Amino acid sequence: MYKPKTLFEKVWDSHVVLEREGEPTLLYIDLHLVHEVTSPQAFEGLRLANRTVRRPDLTFATIDHNIPTTSDERFHIKDQIAAQQIATLRRNCAGAGIPLFDVGSGRQGIVHVIGPELGLTQPGMTVVCGDSHTSTHGAFGALAFGVGTSEVEHVLATQCVSQKKPRSMRIGISGALPDGTSSKDLILEIIRRLGTDGGTGHVIEYAGEAIRGLTMEERMTMCNMSIECGARAGMVAPDETTFAYLDGRPYAPPGEAWDKAIARWQPLATDEGAHFDKDITIDASHLAPIVTWGTNPGMSAPITATVPGPDNAQDESERNAILAALDYMGLQPGTRIEDIALDRVFIGSCTNGRLEDLRSAAKVLRGYKVHNRVTVLVVPGSEAVKQAAEREGLDSIFTEAGAQWREPGCSMCLGMNPDILAPKQRCASTSNRNFEGRQGRGARTHLVSPAVAAAAAVAGHFVDVRGWEYRK
């Protein structure tokens, strides 16, 4: 008798190379994405052990973490150590025959933006990358997760990973997202409810009517931040929205192969009656825009709320965590979120650096000027996103409002390039992590959606974007 399976189990089971009692499973990897920061030691390890790259044809590289976002400096990097890391990637890719989407190629960008937009990421695949936000690719019904550098080396050498099978969790989202909210608010709400370790050891499938109604880019934002509640991966079952997104992309199957691919992808849904280790339902219809106030992505509140205090803690350890976060963030309990004043706004990253994100921010900014105290950085997720945005004239909306329109890369999401905050500067950021020092030593990060970030840029403080007066 056929045992009903979850989407995750279908993808997992079809990639098992070897399974032995008491050992991790050897799992085949269909797509390995590589970038400059977590790969040099892996290639070096291969060389030292006299090993080669098994499947350069299933491996693709780009430059994103280190790259400066000004048009002249991206080709003439002043930071010599960063430049060396990038030169090393170029040399390693050339040596192994790995395609590299280099700066200026028209295809460079944040690794989790270009995989989908080039059609490399496809339903039912296994995808890994030496970056925790690899979970992004799960939006296509792929099993995608971040790995460390030793595992990058392992995949280069064997095209497999050795993994213990994660448990499964379904988060069903009922209702539809209210106007003025986005999938960023939804995933921040989920992380707040689950906590930063609520998903540990699990692969999450996002399901339900609200998810079906999301675009691919919105689904990517959700899967992207699955790691922020500790989950191994996030997944959404592929549907017509997925197929329409992929159709005609450079690496999507062409012609007859496309029809065959659709036939293979269609059964990729959780079977009726399949078992999940955890099953949660969340009603999205009362969702509000969410703002983080603390130093991990679970420390957040609706925009209409106030900053919590130690009295809101469940135990001593949470109390200490709240006190440490408030101290680092320079916030007082009871302060209205809307009264928090900002110095900087960052719109970009693998979470919210895609075309729809830029459209959403531009829609808010159109006809407005950013507050004179606030510096706004808009960093498209890829060269393709940048070109598409410019074709629509989004760049003019940003620059006319007084924002800086930059070149693609990870930029201020993690500040490995020159885009960092000064100590104690406060930033509304569309990125994924508000850890201490993430955007610069002593820097204070508030995670928000692109629309909330744009509204905050104009007002100089957080505002409830649901009441925004859009201008033509």
Partner 1 sequence: MEPFRSHRGIVAPLHRENIDTDQIIPKQHLKRIERTGFGTYLFSDWRYHPDGSPRHDFVLNQEHYRSATILVAGKNFGCGSSREHAAWALSEFGIRAIIAPSYADIFRINAGNNGLLLIEAAGTTVQRIAAQAQARPPYELTIDLENQTIADGDGLSERFEIEPFRRHRLLHGLDEIGMTLTHEAEIARFEAAVLRCTPSQGYSNLGTAT
Q: Which is nearer to partner 1, 66 or 300 (CB)?
A: 66
Residues of this chain, 37-66, that bind partner 1 according to CB under 8 A: 37-38, 40-41, 44-45, 49, 51, 57-58, 65-66
Residues of this chain, 105-134, that bind partner 1 according to CB under 8 A: 119-120, 122, 124-125, 130-132, 134
Binding region for partner 1 (CB under 8 A) out of 335-343, 380-388, 400-408, 438-446: 438-446
Residues of this chain, 263-282, that bind partner 1 according to CB under 8 A: 264-265, 267-268
CA distance 160 to 404: 42
- Smallest gap from Cβ 82 to partner 1, in A, equals 5
Of 174, 173, 169, give the one whose Cα is nearest residue 200: 169
- Smallest gap from Cβ 291 to partner 1, in A, equals 19
Q: Which is nearer to partner 1, 264 or 471 (CB)?
A: 264
Q: Which is nearer to partner 1, 7 or 342 (CB)?
A: 7
Interaction mask 61-100, partner 1, x per CB under 8 A: ----xx------------x-xx-xx--x------------
Residues of this chain, 380-399, that bind partner 1 according to CB under 8 A: none
CA distance 284 to 187: 10
- Smallest gap from Cβ 370 to partner 1, in A, equals 27
Residues of this chain, 313-342, that bind partner 1 according to CB under 8 A: 317, 320-321, 324
Interaction mask 234-253, partner 1, x per CB under 8 A: ----------------xxxx
Q: Which is nearer to partner 1, 24 or 393 (CB)?
A: 24
Cβ atoms within 10 A of the Cβ of 307, count?
23
The single residue among 70, 90, 149, 306 that binds partner 1, judged by CB under 8 A, is 149
In the block, which residue shows the tokens 């104690």? 424
- Smallest gap from Cβ 203 to partner 1, in A, equals 10
The single residue among 167, 435, 460, 464 that binds partner 1, judged by CB under 8 A, is 435
CA distance 194 to 202: 12
Q: Which is nearer to partner 1, 84 or 174 (CB)?
A: 84
- Smallest gap from Cβ 189 to partner 1, in A, equals 19
CA distance 348 to 378: 6
The single residue among 95, 96, 102, 157 that binds partner 1, judged by CB under 8 A, is 157
Interface with partner 1: number of residues (CB under 8 A):
92
Q: Which is nearer to partner 1, 145 or 468 (CB)?
A: 145
Q: How many Cα neighbours within 13 Å face the side chain of 71?
A: 5
CA distance 472 to 467: 16
Q: Exposed/middle/buried for 159, CB within 10 Å: 0-12, 13-18, 19+? A: middle
The single residue among 112, 438, 444, 446 that binds partner 1, judged by CB under 8 A, is 438
Distances (CA, A) of 50 to 95, 250, 315: 14, 34, 53
CA distance 340 to 321: 20
CA distance 170 to 275: 10
CA distance 63 to 83: 11
Binding region for partner 1 (CB under 8 A) out of 216-224, 261-269, 391-399, 451-459: 261-269
Binding region for partner 1 (CB under 8 A) out of 12-20, 105-113, 283-291, 362-370: 12-20
409 contributes a contact to partner 1 by CB under 8 A? no
Terminal alpha carbon distance of the chain: 60
The single residue among 70, 174, 200, 425 that binds partner 1, judged by CB under 8 A, is 200
Binding region for partner 1 (CB under 8 A) out of 146-154, 235-243, 269-277, 381-389: 146-154
- Smallest gap from Cβ 24 to partner 1, in A, equals 6
